Homo-oligomer: A and B are copies of this chain.
Amino acid sequence: MGCAPLAYLLWSEIMNYAPSNPDWKNRDRFVLSNGHACALQYAMLHLVGYTVSLEDCMNFRQLKSKTPGHPECFATPGVEVCTGPLGQGISNAVGLAIAEKHLSHHYSPQVFSNYTYVICGDGCLQEGISSEASSLAGHLGLGKLIVLYDDNSITIDGPTSLSFTEDVGKRYEAYGWHVVAVDDVVNGLDNLRAAIAEAQAIDDKPSLIKVKTIIGYGSQKQGSEKTHGAPLGSDDVSFVKNKLGLDPTQAFQVDDDVRAFWADVTKAREARMKEWERIYSQFASSHPEVFKEIERRFAGECLNEEELIALLPKFEYGKDKDKATRQFSEQCLNALAVILPEVIGGSADLTPSNLTALKCSGDFQKNSPSGRYLRFGVREHGMAAICNGLYAYGGFRPFCATFLNFAGYALGAIRLSALSRFGVIYIMTHDSIGLGEDGPTHQPIEMLESLRAMPNINVFRPADSNEVVAAYVSAIRNRITPTVICCSRMPVTSLQASCAKKACLGAYIVLDNVEPQLILLGTGSEVNFCVQAAKVLVEQHGLSVRVVSMPCQEIFLQQPIEYQKDVLPGDIPTLSVEPSSNHGWHRFAHQSICMTTYGLSAPYDALLEHFGFSTANVIDVALLLLHFYKNRPVPNLRDRPDSGSKGFDNGLHH
């Protein structure tokens, strides 16, 4: 209610949009960063003619409605990003603004010239993620990003004086933003109108407009935290309706003159889109190849699996010298970036470690917006949220990189990639204790399981060059599922039988023998220990052993059950080998060589040896496993009924 004047002005005068085509490429992007205020956004979407009906508004927060409790981009036309987790929306907006600036310079300002508007509250500005993204936005001089800060002095706990007394405006000036204050939006909108015009005119700085508002304006509880989350109550609703000249006996009622006003507004906006379409079609005639590329990018079309594999680097077993999988990742990323201009991204200040520099492109900076390499700085959470914004704009396949362990800093935003169905590519190197000397603060233990437990995200831990190729092919092909590519710091020996095409199935046999008595199941840099151990077990112990490489659990579990059981029957003693928590491995393996503690600081070979990741230890444990089941039945781990879970109807089963 406090923000209503802001929304009124944005939708009636400021923003370009076309309810008939929510995907209009050059629409102004609007982000309600304080997503809990979404009733306001739904009301606006309804008034201006998006397919959000009055009935939808009445079904606010009900099962499968278009009006969930926080904005969801896949649920409601006109909603750009999922907001609610505080700080995410404003950080997404930085990505949306980068997207516009890049496309405008790379293609044409005639085609891409939109603004990004944000409404955010105190909560968003307290979150560290917004500090990270805002600092970078100032550095990059994103002049078309305009944030309206709903400065209502109230958070859930009470007045902001309890915990938030900093000078926000001064902080944003320090970030290099243009900051202006508007003290009143109750007695007229001229000041706000002027502030927005000023912000629009400043093209080398993002703008923060600090708008003093009154939470729950018009109600008896106005100005109190009691209006933050809880409903007003019917008495107070009547009170406020009376005060504002509305009929208190009517609910969900829009007067005809209001309808007529907004119909005119919408008509004018649709006309602007038509004018843009005219210009775009001229552009298409004069630049047919570029037009085709833009359309392809926004349609998300790409090469198929075979074509992509063919275009990515080939590695030959025995010919190339051992390299870290992060080095193969560097080659694959660079090969893709050359052919796919939609690939944009960077690292959280770990470029020389993550090996994500793009040889085909310079940095995206304030004065070089055609560049595709982003210097995110040491800002993991902001980085992931910015990538979500880039994806949300359309036409991009963003990537970002840090050490796997520091995915934990960015988890809030990674989760939103997955929930929002944004195919962001996460390149996470230094993926185990194998990173060595940096020690336990840097060595991931639980992170693989954290990510695997998340719905709609594919976690790859490739064993060698061919599996890195598979990870990138899968990442590019899966547009609505983000992919995490976990890479080693240390060199790996290529597997004789590794295969990009087979690795795209999630798991496959890399070494086999007739009627195997034992399966060694590994991922990433540890598969080679399994292969070496298997050879010894076959040659010296006369055993029949299979080795399975499982670069991606999620994708393996999507294969036909026949394939799954061909690879892992379930009733052959199976030993998994991964330097990580083994929670999820109980599904596939009878025993695990895993990490049950944090790591240590030491050279990687000493660490792997110490924690049991060696050929010798795989052999020892495998023999103990076989001994254990010598005189008792082997439980068939895969002979279980399917999950008894319901609710498979929201379009994403994994």
Residue contacts A-B, CB under 8 angstroms, 13 given: A62-B606, A72-B439, A85-B405, A128-B132, A131-B132, A157-B352, A456-B598, A583-B584, A591-B640, A591-B641, A596-B648, A611-B646, A628-B641
B617 lies within 8 A of A646 (CB) = yes
Interface 0/1 of A583-623, CB less than 8 Å to B: 11011001111111110111100110011100001001100
Contact in complex: A63, B455 (CB < 8 Å) = no
Q: Mark A57-99, 1 if CB is under 8 A from B, else 0.
A: 0000111110011101000000000111111000000000000
Q: List A residues 13-67 near B (Cβ within 8 Å).
A: 35, 61-65
8 Å CB contacts to B: which residues of A238-290?
none
Would you give the shortest CB distance from A416 to chain B, in whole angstroms?
7
A363 within 8 Å of B by Cβ? yes
Closest 5 CB pairs of A and B: A128-B128, A635-B635, A68-B601, A621-B644, A163-B377
CB of A543 within 8 A of chain B?
no
Q: Does A145 contact B (CB under 8 A)?
A: no
Name the distance in Å between A149's Cβ and chain B's nearest Cβ. 14
In the complex, A229→B438 CA distance in Å?
10
A376 within 8 A of B: yes
Given known contacts A132-B126, A635-B637, A644 and B601 CB-to-CB distance under 8 angstroms: no
Pair A446/B439 contact, Cβ less than 8 Å:
no
A170 within 8 A of B: yes
A61 and B155 contact, CB distance less than 8 A: no
Contact among B156, B375, B597, B648 with A162 in the assembled complex (CB-CB below 8 Å):
B375
Nearest CB in chain B: distance from A133 CB, A: 9
Give the segment of A100-108, A172-180, A201-209, A336-344 that binds chain B: A172-180
Q: Is the CB of A164 within 8 A of B377?
A: yes
* Contacting residues, chain B, for A166 (C-beta < 8 A): 135, 138-139, 174-176
Interface contact A440-B412, CB-CB below 8 Å? no
Interface: A292 (CB within 8 A): no
Give Cα A129 to B411, complex, Å.
Answer: 14
Docked-complex contact B412 and A412, CB < 8 angstroms: no
Cβ contacts under 8 Å, A438 to chain B: 69-70, 84
A350-380 near B? 1/0 per residue, CB < 8 Å: 1111000000000101000000000111111
Q: Are A68 and B129 within 8 A (Cβ)?
A: no
Partner of A86 from the list B378, B598, B643, B652 (CB cut-off 8 Å) is B378
Residues 214 to 236 of chain A near chain B (Cβ within 8 Å): 229
Which residues in B have their C-beta under 8 angstroms from that of A450?
411, 446, 449-450, 453
Q: How far is the CA of A350 from the CA of B162 in the complex (A)?
A: 13
Q: Are B419 and A408 in contact (CB under 8 A)?
A: no
In-complex Cβ contact of A63 among B64, B607, B633 (8 A): B607
Chain B residue at smallest Cβ distance from A75: B601
Chain B residues with CB under 8 A of A653: 596-597
Taking beta carbons and an 8 Å cutoff, which residues of A are in contact with B?
A: 35, 61-65, 68-70, 72, 82-87, 122-124, 126-132, 135-136, 138-139, 155-157, 162-171, 173-176, 229, 347, 349-353, 363, 365, 375-382, 405-406, 408-409, 411-412, 415-416, 418-419, 436-442, 445-446, 449-450, 452-456, 575, 581-584, 586-587, 590-598, 600-603, 606-607, 610-612, 617, 620-621, 624-625, 628, 632-633, 635-637, 639-648, 650, 652-654
A643 touches B596 (CB 8 A): yes
Smallest beta-carbon distance A387→chain B, Å: 15
Q: B139, B597, B602, B645: which contacts A164 (Cβ < 8 A)?
A: B139
Cα A596 to Cα B610 in complex, Å, equals: 36
- Beta-carbon contact of B597 and A652 below 8 Å: yes
Residues of B close to A126: CB separation below 8 A: 132, 135, 349, 377-379
Q: Does A647 contact B586, Cβ atoms closer than 8 Å?
A: no
Given A85-B441, A596-B455, CB of A647 within 8 Å of CB of B610: yes
Query: Knowing A406-B412, A411-B408, A446-B454 touch, does A441 contact B70 (C-beta < 8 A)?
Result: yes
- Within the assembled complex, what's the spacing in Å between the Cα atoms of A446 and B654? 12
* Contacts A72-B441, A645-B611; A381 near B598 (Cβ below 8 A): no
Q: B437 contacts A69, CB within 8 Å?
A: yes
Q: Is the CB of B136 within 8 A of A163?
A: yes
Q: In the complex, which of the residues B419, B586, B644, B646 contacts A586, with contact meaning CB atoms closer than 8 Å?
A: B586
Contact partners of A353 in chain B: CB under 8 A:
156, 229
The CA of A455 and the CA of B611, in the complex, are separated in Å by 15
Residues in B with CB closer than 8 Å to A583 are 449, 452-453, 583-584, 587
Measured CA separation A647–B583 after assembly (Å) = 18
Output the least CB separation between A293 and chain B (Å): 29
CA distance A445 to B418 in the complex (A): 12
Contacting residues, chain B, for A633 (C-beta < 8 A) = 633, 636
CB distance from A450 to the nearest CB of B (A): 4
Asked if A632 and B624 sit within 8 Å, CB to CB, the answer is no
Cβ B68 vs Cβ A600 within 8 A: yes
Q: Are B170 and A63 in contact (CB under 8 A)?
A: no
A650 touches B349 (CB 8 A): no
A650-B85 Cα distance, complex, nearest whole Å: 37
**Nearest residue, chain B, Cβ from A640:** B590
CB distance from A439 to the nearest CB of B (A): 4
Which of B138, B167, B439 contacts A84, CB < 8 Å?
B439
Which residues of B are found within 8 Å of A375, using beta-carbon distances? 157, 162-163
Q: Which of B445, B602, B645 contacts A596 (CB 8 A)?
A: B645
Task: Contacts A166-B176, A601-B68 given; indicate if A594 touches B645 (C-beta within 8 A).
Answer: yes
In-complex Cβ contact of A644 among B454, B606, B625 (8 A): B625
A404 → B minimal CB distance (Å): 12
Q: Which residue of B lies closest to A365 (CB)?
A: B162
Q: Which residues of B contact A352 (CB under 8 A)?
A: 156-157
